[in-house]
Structure 1
Amino acid sequence: MNIKILGHHVEITPGMRSHLEDKLKKISGHFDQVQNMTVTLSINNEKEKDLRNHAEITLHLKGKDLFAEAHNGDMYHAMDLVVDKLDRQVLKHKEKVQDHHHQTLKNT
């Protein structure tokens, strides 16, 4: 799995990188078909102070792309929120893929 972390008007510190990578391991543990992830962290000074920090993740799976974003006053909390949103999407996608293969009824 390839993780690309970008910062827009924010410097990505080693602490932020390690926090994010630890959280993203949970997603790759649920679903092993993750090809790569693009994480963008940004600060928008024009928004309200409580929603200034913005985190978004684009997850590339085989045949599908998933996207999640979150806003919060704290960047670490925004990262946690976006990973939780994406985790729910990955689990839902995994259920759809697995439920697609039903057993056929045999005529006796």
Structure 2
Amino acid sequence: MNLTISGHHLEVTPSLREYVLTKLDRVTRHFDQVVDVNVLLTVEKQKEKEKRQRAEVTLHAKGKDIFVESSHEDLYAAIDQTMDKLDRQVVRHKDRVQDHHHESHKRTVAGDVA
């Protein structure tokens, strides 16, 4: 898995990098076919204080690209919200990818009779 963590108008400190890595472990625990992850942490120059810190994640998995973003007044809270959204989408994608097609009961009974 390739991981890129970058900051826009922000220096990515080792503590921020470690926090993002611990949150991404939860996602990779659910789905191991992750190819590439890009994380962008941004501080926007807005007049209002709320929703100023922003976290974006682009995840390239086998069969799908997932993009998630979230804004909050605290960067760590924005990262938490983003990882929660990403986790839900990855679990949903995993459920869709898994093969849920089973042999129908009618076919097995008809095959036994013939």
* Whole-Å separation in 2 of the counterparts to 1:18 and 1:6: 13
1:13 and 2:10 matched: no
Residue type of the alignment partner of 1:34:
V
Unaligned runs of 5+ in 2: none
Aligned to 2:103, the other structure's residue is in SS state coil
Task: Decide whether aligned partners of structure 1 residues 28 and 50 sit closer, same or farther in structure 2, where only a CA change above 3 A counts.
Answer: same
Output aligned runs, 1:11-90, within 5 Å.
11-46=11-46, 48-90=48-90
Unaligned runs of 5+ in 1: none
Deviation (angstroms), 1:104 = 1.7
* Whole-Å separation in 2 of the counterparts to 1:29 and 1:63: 18
Residue type of the alignment partner of 1:63:
G
Post-superposition Cα deviations, 1:25-68, rounded to whole Å, max 9, x if no partner, equal 11000001101100000011125211000000000011210010
Residue type of the alignment partner of 2:62:
K
Aligned to 1:50, the other structure's residue is in SS state coil
- Tell me how large the CA RMSD over aligned residues is: 1.1
Residue type of the alignment partner of 1:81:
Q
Moved over 3 A (4+): none
Between structure 1 and structure 2, the one with the greater Rg is 2
Task: Decide whether aligned partners of structure 1 residues 80 and 24 sit closer, same or farther in structure 2, where only a CA change above 3 A counts.
Answer: same
Deviation (angstroms), 1:101 = 3.5
